[in-house]
Copies of this chain bind each other. A is one copy, B any other.
Amino acid sequence: MNPEFLKKAEQAKPILTVRTHTKKGGQVLAETSRAVFDFGTHLVGYPKIDFSAVGAHYDAPALIRVRFCETAQELDEDTFLYHGWISKGWLQEEIVRLDELPCAYTFRRRFAVRYVQVEVIATSPKYRLRIDRVGIRSVTSAPEPIAVCGKDETERAIDRVALKTLSECMQYEFEDGPKRDMRLWLGDLRLQALANYQTYRHNDLVKRCLYLFAATADAEGHISQCVFTRPDVAPDDASMFDYSLLFIPTLYDYFTETGDRQTVDDLLPLAEKQIEIAKERFTDDVIEDCDRLGWCFLDWSLALNKQAGAQAVYLYAQKTLIRLLKECGKDASAYESDAARKSAKAVEAFYDRERGLFVSGKERQISYAANVWYVLAEVFGKDDNAALLDRLQACDEAIRPVTPYMMHHYVQALLNSGEAEKARSVIRDYWGGMIERGADTFWELFNPDDPDESPYGGKAVHSFCHAWSCTPSYFFRKYFVEEKP
């Protein structure tokens, strides 16, 4: 690890703002009964519950189960039956024995929560348990709430929820989600940073995260897909082809926003390194198919062939690097010739002239993921891209986005192609769809065609506050200026 970078990351570590939220209780619970406390909004923090005994003096410990849920639908799930592939460790529940009553039980762990459910498993015949008060000390590193924007209530609701989603994920780092994984992921960071520049402008937090990734790059310069910070800073042992490359636009966006040349001077060599590392996965300027490429994320879909999309992300990152080098007065010519060759080769290898769409892999799969990234990479001009996106929309077999992360890139592609109204309507439909289903914060996954889809085998481990879904606040402010507050 690079100790200088680590030091700069630590220097930019934020102070958390703590707020106290309280729900008054009074419910008296006999064995096997339960009570639910609704805080009315999503909170990230440390709960404390005041309990007392009703009846004779308590003569045995009270055994309780407390569940912390982001959404009401989680309450309906029986977590004992959860056997999905994500660790049960993520289930937000605690089984607790209370030896003394009355008592104020402070939970050690941080939870993402709107609903707190207390269930009494056992007391004794002599007493029942009363819940006197449920409190949560919420934490965030986001500054004070900012004004909501949007041209109507639909947009204002979307913006309000997006702002909330982002601030909930702003802790000591930009976390992907406060319920799970509570960690700094690179692709997620990039979208959070974009939204942050238009809203909270906590730019030091972006700086900290950039340095955390840089500090934990390995000896060859591989940037990890995510960084652990607890108990110590450490890289994940895996990297994703696209996420590593997104270090470049994340750095570029940061420089554009802040003009912080020192950080760019520190991190530019590592940004260039990502291109060099990725370049090794090409043969005759065509990227390996995804069976050999390793993990390239693009979207949360196992059906997706990533080959064509991976090359597009490479081109997008490389073009951003060229821009960054030029703005710093550096030579970018080697990258320019590589980009030109690989762009031409991408069209040759992946563009189906008959259908007018990029296709991926041996099965010539059509997806939003691949095509959107070619639009973002500006392989074609603006008008051609707009036409391509029209054809994409008309293509029934195209694999559609399932995450707000991929949906963000689709909206960005529409905007870059001059399709502002279409982009706006996608935001209103897609993010509005979550609002219609009661979202207080936006979700990790939302498939409008199958809103109950649960790839994890149970909603209780879903992240219902996931930062990569916060970008409507970015789009509204950057592209629909007339409604700025």
Contacts and interface: CB of A to CB of B under 8 A. Distances in A.
Contacts of A122: 87-89
Contact of A90 (B61, B89, B126, B237): B61
A90 B57 contact: no
Tell me whether chain A's interface is mostly helix, strand or loop, or mixed.
loop
A56 B87 contact: no
Contacts of A100: 230-231
A109 to B, nearest CB: 6
Contacts of A236: 56-57, 59
A336 interface: no
Interface stretch (A1-9, A91-99, A190-198): A91-99
Interface string A33-72: 0000000000000000000000011011111000000000
Contact of A63 (B88, B97, B180, B228): B88
A25 interface: no
Interface string A77-91: 000000000111111
Nearest to A85: B125
From A63, A89, A94, A123, residue with most partner B Cβ within 10 Å: A89
Nearest to A180: B60
Interface residues of A, number: 38
A234 interface: yes
A103 B231 contact: yes
A123 B59 contact: no
A402 interface: no
A118 to B, nearest CB: 15
A254 B234 CA distance: 64
Contact of A121 (B59, B86, B88, B102): B88
A124 interface: yes
A181 interface: yes
Nearest to A122: B88
Contact of A89 (B103, B124, B180): B124
Interface string A96-113: 010111110000011000
What are the 10 A-B residue pairs with the smallest beta carbon separation, nearest first?
A61-B89, A60-B87, A88-B122, A63-B89, A95-B95, A56-B237, A87-B124, A60-B89, A87-B122, A100-B230
Given A61-B87, A87-B122, A99-B109, 7 more contacts: A56-B237, A60-B86, A62-B89, A63-B87, A88-B122, A99-B110, A100-B231
13 contacts: A56-B237, A57-B237, A61-B87, A61-B90, A63-B87, A63-B91, A87-B123, A89-B97, A95-B95, A97-B109, A99-B110, A99-B230, A100-B231
Interface of A: 56-57, 59-63, 86-91, 94-95, 97, 99-103, 109-110, 121-124, 126, 180-181, 183, 228, 230-231, 234-237
